[in-house]
Amino acid sequence: MDRQFQKDQGFGSIRNSRDPGGDLPVGEVSLASVFSLVLRVLYGRRAAVPEADIPDVAQDAILRLLKWKEKHPEKAGSMTMAEWGSYTAKTAHNEINRSFSNRKRKCEVPIDEASLMSPPTAEGSSNAEMVSLVGNVWQETCKLSLYQRRALLLNSPDLVIYFIEFGINEAEIVASLDISNEQWLDILERLPLSDVEIAAIARSHKNDRDPGAATRAIRKARFDARRKLGRLRK
């Protein structure tokens, strides 16, 4: 993306009033920084998007951000750097999922997180029913142990996006993981985390001498979490 595109689209006009940690002034958000963040998310999910498609998906994500900014200029202008970075990363994840769906491919996971959100009806459900369903899944997720929540959510960007899209406040998700906003912003760029990365967060209080045992424990916790949430569909 050349400088003319940046100038014409006016991404530099997005100005944030304070930094993630307080009320210190911050500079303008450049297209280059947005593009860099989008690319980090895309390359972090290479299993879901072919490398050859990354430029197109990145462009679609940025165009979607531009349209949102033009539609909501006041909200965009009042966002903190952390909020804008979080929203940019979520938009990139959504664009990956959209591209993934268009190619009619499915992520290879033991259980499809999206199925947890799909009610067992042939004709689907209304948005209100989906909000209710997602709310129920969220309540059950909150009943999981912290260890299980981390093992599940930090490996499941689709599930996180479902929660946010259907009314669960992002701050609630961050609180449920017992991490700081700064940690969340960093994690959001890299979702899904590997089991090794999750273990470093979920088992930081333990001196794991056997990395293999630590990752197996994370996988078991995630399996148990999915099994518990899967009961909602029965």
Sorted by where each begins, the domain ranges of the chain are: 3-102, 113-233
C-alpha pair distances (Å), 153 with each of 121, 139, 147, 187, 227: 26, 14, 10, 11, 14
The per-residue pLDDT for 103 is: 66
Residue 24: per-residue pLDDT: 30
Q: What per-residue confidence (pLDDT) applies to 141?
A: 95
> Given the structure tokens 């029913």, which residue do they identify?
129
pLDDT digits (tens, 9 = 90+) for 91-122: 888 888 888 777 644 444 444 555 555 544 43
The pLDDT score that the predictor gives to residue 192 is: 83
Whether the CB-CB separation of 84 and 14 falls below 8 Å is answered with: yes
Give me the pLDDT at residue 19, please: 41
**Backbone angles phi and psi of 28, in degrees to 5:** -75, 155
Query: In this predicted structure, what is the pLDDT of residue 86?
Result: 83
At residue 31, the pLDDT reads 64
Residues of the chain scoring pLDDT < 50: 1-10, 12-27, 104-111, 119-125
Note the pLDDT tens digit of each residue in 130-160. 778 888 999 999 999 999 999 999 998 878 8
How many whole angstroms separate alpha carbon 98 and alpha carbon 37? 18
pLDDT over 70 for what percent of the chain? 74
Beta bridge partners of 15: 28
| Nearest alpha carbon to residue 155 among 104, 59, 220, 234 | 220
pLDDT at 27: 40
Res 14: pLDDT:
43
